[in-house]
Amino acid sequence: MSVSLTPDIPCKRLSELKTDEEGVITRVFGHGSFRNRITEMGFVRGKSVKVIKNAPLLDPVEYEIMGYRIALRRAEAELIEVTTSPESRSSGANFTTSEGTFPQESANRFLHKAGKTINAALVGNPNCGKTSLFNMASGAREHVGNYSGVTVGAKQASFHHKDYVINLVDLPGTYSITEYSPEELFVRTHILEQMPDVVINVIDASNLERNLYLTTQLIDMDLKVVVALNMYDELSHSGAQLDYHALGRLLGIPIIPTIAAQNVGLTELFDTVVAVFEDNEPIARHIHINYGHDIERSIGELQKLIWQDKDLVARYSSRYLAIKLLENDQTTLQLLQKTPNYDKICATAQKERQLLERIYGEEGETIIADAKYGFIAGALEETYHGAPRDKHARTSRIDQFVTNKIWGLPFFFLLMWLMFQTTFTLGNIPAGWMEQGVSWLGNFVQSHLSEGSLRDLLVDGIIGGVGGVIVFLPNILILFFFISLMEDTGYMARAAFIMDKLMHKMGLHGKSFIPLLMGFGCNVPAVMATRTLESHKDRILTMLILPFMSCSARLPVYVLLISAFFPRHQGLVLFSIYLIGILLAVGSSLLFKRLFFKQTEAPFVMELPPYRVPTGRSVIRHMWHKGSQYLRKMGTIILVASVLIWALGHYPKGDASLTPAQQQEQSYIGHIGKVIEPVIRPLGFDWQIGISLISGLAAKEIVVSSMAVLTDSGDDNASLVSNLQNLTYTEGKHAGEKVYTPLVAYTMMVFILLYFPCIATITAIRREASRKWALFTLCYTTGVAWIVSFIIYQIGSLF
């Protein structure tokens, strides 16, 4: 169907104008990101454009607008509607004033008419009241006509609303915009080919869950949408309450309650349609529905390929096309047939689909639909109160327990306790094996290589350093296994919901909770996990406080010091360390929010995906994804740091008669330790502790291995614990005193908890945020560590 959408005004597409012809822009078609880009270039309604050069085979075409020359692709120019009525041409001289405005009255009047015509389409489920709304709106006013496709038809009407002309199309009812019925295809083709200025999504308020599904598809298509929340009378009668304003803010779509059958709310509805058309509606914004890590990655891969066809992305949102490809949508494949890298796109789409199907054990379409329902459930959970909606029965029964006001939180803490408990009790078994393996390897190398620096490097530097760290891999993998399991079943999303209120008190969002929790495992994947947060502010804020979550790398240090100096109350002491970290995270968050992130941002939906039994493959894959970051750190930073620290302690080589400790003291690292001693003396630390702390910059596990090297008494039977307990100052004003007291040990644990997280974490923050924030984290954490340790040591010394 190709009726002129503004019947009495001759309109053309900009691409149809010949060289030297001039036109006035009446509208820009297409999806949001295209419109935004073209607007930024100056192609705004009411401005005049002149064609500088346009030959049939020439692409791009050159135009002049507001005194600038701009080249547009032909495909882009096809999406810009212009008018070239004789009237407007006669006043052409006035069109090219510096502001591109139209002083002349006739031109004004003319343009007024052309620019104030809105093409709107009614989209919604069957029986939601579209036709009632259509009839009421057009109400035997001007003309109503039929137009039809092959098997389905639609009614069209034009009527006046205030000083606008609204062309309204009543499209057939559909539950979804896929390709399974002629109605669906008709609606889809109308939206994508006719490109209405505003889509009016009619929703049956008494059946929100199912009706909003279609809305999520409109969101993917990146269109200008207004929701008519119809049957509002039924919602009110049911006693349920919907905060439709809040829901609108979450979706980025204004929602207007209507009772179409009684002509209630239609004026407000069309006022809002006008406001959205004029980009005057504060709520309207384009949001992304978060499909979860795996799908988002696949979408990104496909988008990269789609972007290569500039003509294509002028017409369609690349994100929409990518999602459709993952759903194996044949109509979209046909659409892409002409694009140059069609084969590549097909192959990639198939590869990504198979990958997703292997991870989730379900088809792409189902996975995406589940994610959409998760999004809807999350949005309604925050805005809908009252009579139960028709949900999946299983999900709703589990949710009643899990997110219960009374049981929710204790149940959550029980799970957390169980998780940490299992991580360490179960993890210690394979950790023990690995420890034996590492020491066997050390002995093997020791006995098969001749004495010398190479052997020392291998045994003490590489095997000792990396081996001391790698033994924690089982614990870390188990922790990540649990976290992945909670994510994949859908429980993690509920945990975020339960924690939402609490997190808001910290100035954060419930979703930040997941990365923070992961931080107890390893800060590096936790920093990456902040990607799931929609808001930039939340992302940065979460990253900044993450280092205070005591990662598992710090645990070996605590375990060593606690078993040496706090034989009683072990659990309590350990708990207090974790608690100090959490309290400082809360405090810092509140402080940063005051300092850096004062303005509030648009809210976003916390998805509540349906519960599912996770496939072993997906849990293992997700566990591995996180664990491999840890392994990478092992192979790179920890390896280099171990060798470096070994070398600094090994050279310059002293007399062969020196004990290992004396050798350390006269080595480079001994000198460095002495240099920083004055800075850490107020914390009760000596130069040896200083060296351990410096070595911990690379990774905190290394603190233990450098303590082992530094306190080596030469007695092979003495354990590290007894070495630490017996270590005394040999000179200076503390001579004869013990180096480590319980107070020093506690202060040291606090310092290790708080200072510089590790190089890998700082690198991750630099990559995810910026160099500036990485530098800030570095200074802030170390500063806080010093101050808090100072307070603890000085006050502790008084007793």
Question: Least Å distance between CB 232 and ligand GDP?
Answer: 6
Q: Closest CB to ligand GDP among 187 and 549?
A: 187
Span near Mg ion by CB under 5 A; candidates 125-133, 666-674, 722-730, 744-752: 125-133
Q: Closest CB to ligand GDP among 198 and 792?
A: 198
535: three-class secondary structure by DSSP: coil
Q: Which does 188 bind (CB under 5 to 8 A by kind): ligand GDP, Mg ion, none?
A: none
Q: Closest CB to ligand GDP among 97 and 127?
A: 127
Question: Least Å distance between CB 505 and ligand GDP?
Answer: 40
Q: Pick one of 84, 131, 135, 236: the residue that binds Mg ion (CB under 5 A).
A: 131
Q: Closest CB to Mg ion among 134 and 164?
A: 134
How many CB atoms neighbour CB 606 within 10 A? 23
Q: Are 705 and 642 in contact (CB under 8 A)?
A: yes
Cα distance from N-terminal residue to C-terminal residue, the chain: 89
Q: Closest CB to ligand GDP among 202 and 478?
A: 202
CA 9 to chain centre: 46
Q: Which does 319 bind (CB under 5 to 8 A by kind): ligand GDP, Mg ion, none?
A: none
Report the candidate in 63, 75, 55 with the shortest Cα–Cα distance to residue 25: 63
Q: Are 700 and 557 in contact (CB under 8 A)?
A: yes
Tokens read off for 779: 């200074």
The DSSP bridge pattern shows strands 61-65 and 153-161 to be: unpaired
How many CB atoms neighbour CB 511 within 10 A? 28
Q: Closest CB to Mg ion among 131 and 328?
A: 131
User: Which residues are within 8 A (CB) of 183 and not within 5 positions of it... i.e. 6 or more apart?
Assistant: 152, 172, 173, 174
Question: Least Å distance between CB 598 and ligand GDP?
Answer: 42
User: How far is the C-alpha of 16 from the C-alpha of 12, rounded, in Å?
Assistant: 7
Q: Which does 230 bind (CB under 5 to 8 A by kind): Mg ion, ligand GDP, none?
A: ligand GDP
| Count, residues near ligand GDP per rule CB under 6 A | 16
Backbone angles phi, psi at 137, to 5 degrees: -70, -45
User: How would you write 753-772 as a 3-class SS string?
Assistant: HHCCCCHHHHHHHHHHCCHH
Q: Closest CB to ligand GDP among 157 and 438?
A: 157
Q: Which does 11 bind (CB under 5 to 8 A by kind): Mg ion, ligand GDP, none?
A: none
Question: Least Å distance between CB 135 and ligand GDP?
Answer: 8
Question: Least Å distance between CB 237 and ligand GDP?
Answer: 9
Show the binding pattern over residues 114-153: x = contacts ligand GDP (CB under 6 A), - = does not: ----------x-xxxxxxx---------------------
Q: Closest CB to ligand GDP among 129 and 252?
A: 129
Show the binding pattern over residues 81-120: x = contacts ligand GDP (CB under 6 A), - = does not: ----------------------------------------
Show the binding pattern over residues 230-269: x = contacts ligand GDP (CB under 6 A), - = does not: xx-xx------------------------xxx--------
Q: Are 590 and 507 in contact (CB under 8 A)?
A: yes
Span near Mg ion by CB under 5 A; candidates 129-137, 338-346, 480-488, 529-537: 129-137
Q: Closest CB to Mg ion among 108 and 131?
A: 131
DSSP codes joined into one string, 369-438: HHHHHHHHHHHHHHHEESSPP---HHHHHHHHHHT-TTTHHHHHHHHHHHHHHHHHHHHHHHHHHHHHHH
Q: Closest CB to ligand GDP among 87 and 234?
A: 234
Show the binding pattern over residues 168-197: x = contacts ligand GDP (CB under 6 A), - = does not: -----x------------------------
**Between the CA of residue 480 and those of 37, 421, 486, 622, what are the distances in Å?**
42, 14, 10, 8
For the chain, how long is the longest CA-to-CA vector?
A: 108
Question: Least Å distance between CB 234 and ligand GDP?
Answer: 5
Q: For Mg ion, which residue has the nearest CB?
A: 131
Q: What is the DSSP-derived secondary structure letter of residue 735?
A: T
Question: Least Å distance between CB 217 and ligand GDP?
Answer: 17
User: How would you write 609-662 as a 3-class SS string?
Assistant: CCCCCCCHHHHHHHHHHHHHHHHHHHHHHHHHHHHHHHHHHHCCCCCCCCCHHH
Q: Which does 635 bind (CB under 5 to 8 A by kind): Mg ion, ligand GDP, none?
A: none
**Between the CA of residue 473 and those of 403, 467, 521, 619, what are the distances in Å?**
33, 10, 10, 17
Taking the alpha carbons of 20, 24, 26, 29 in that order, is the dihedral positive or negative?
positive
Q: Closest CB to ligand GDP among 207 and 576?
A: 207
Question: Least Å distance between CB 48 and Mg ion?
Answer: 41
Q: Closest CB to Mg ion among 152 and 720?
A: 152
131: three-class secondary structure by DSSP: helix
Q: Closest CB to Mg ion among 131 and 303?
A: 131
Q: Cα torsion for 91, 94, 96, 98, to the nearest 10°?
A: -160
Question: Least Å distance between CB 201 and Mg ion?
Answer: 14
Q: Which does 259 bind (CB under 5 to 8 A by kind): ligand GDP, Mg ion, none?
A: ligand GDP
Q: Which does 247 bind (CB under 5 to 8 A by kind): ligand GDP, Mg ion, none?
A: none
Question: Least Å distance between CB 265 and ligand GDP?
Answer: 9
How many CB atoms neighbour CB 349 within 10 A? 26
Question: Least Å distance between CB 385 and ligand GDP?
Answer: 21
User: How far is the C-alpha of 11 from the C-alpha of 23, rounded, in Å?
Assistant: 9
Question: Least Å distance between CB 213 and ligand GDP?
Answer: 15
Q: Closest CB to ligand GDP among 213 and 513?
A: 213
Q: Closest CB to ligand GDP among 124 and 507?
A: 124
Q: Which does 614 bind (CB under 5 to 8 A by kind): ligand GDP, Mg ion, none?
A: none
Tokens read off for 450: 């001749």
The DSSP bridge pattern shows strands 153-161 and 164-170 to be: antiparallel
Question: Least Å distance between CB 155 and Mg ion?
Answer: 9
How many helices and strands in the chain, by DSSP H and E?
38, 15
Taking the alpha carbons of 705, 707, 712, 716 in that order, is the dihedral positive or negative?
negative
User: How far is the C-alpha of 514 from the C-alpha of 502, rounded, in Å?
Assistant: 13
Burial class from Cβ neighbours inside 10 Å (0-12, 13-18, 19+) for residue 505 reads: exposed
Span near Mg ion by CB under 5 A; candidates 131-139, 396-404, 418-426, 461-469: 131-139
Question: Least Å distance between CB 263 and ligand GDP?
Answer: 9
Tokens read off for 197: 């200025």
User: How far is the C-alpha of 754 from the C-alpha of 149, rounded, in Å?
Assistant: 68
Q: Which does 459 bind (CB under 5 to 8 A by kind): ligand GDP, Mg ion, none?
A: none
Q: Which does 127 bind (CB under 5 to 8 A by kind): Mg ion, ligand GDP, none?
A: ligand GDP
Question: Least Å distance between CB 320 and ligand GDP?
Answer: 24
| Count, residues near Mg ion per rule CB under 5 A | 1
Q: Are 427 and 616 in contact (CB under 8 A)?
A: no
User: How far is the C-alpha of 415 from the C-alpha of 423, rounded, in Å?
Assistant: 12
Tokens read off for 476: 């870390």
Question: Least Å distance between CB 83 and ligand GDP?
Answer: 34
Question: Least Å distance between CB 131 and Mg ion?
Answer: 3
Counting contacts by CB under 5 A, is residue 135 touching Mg ion? no
Interface residues toward ligand GDP, by CB under 6 A: 124, 126-132, 173, 230-231, 233-234, 259-261
Residue numbers at the binding site for Mg ion (CB under 5 A): 131
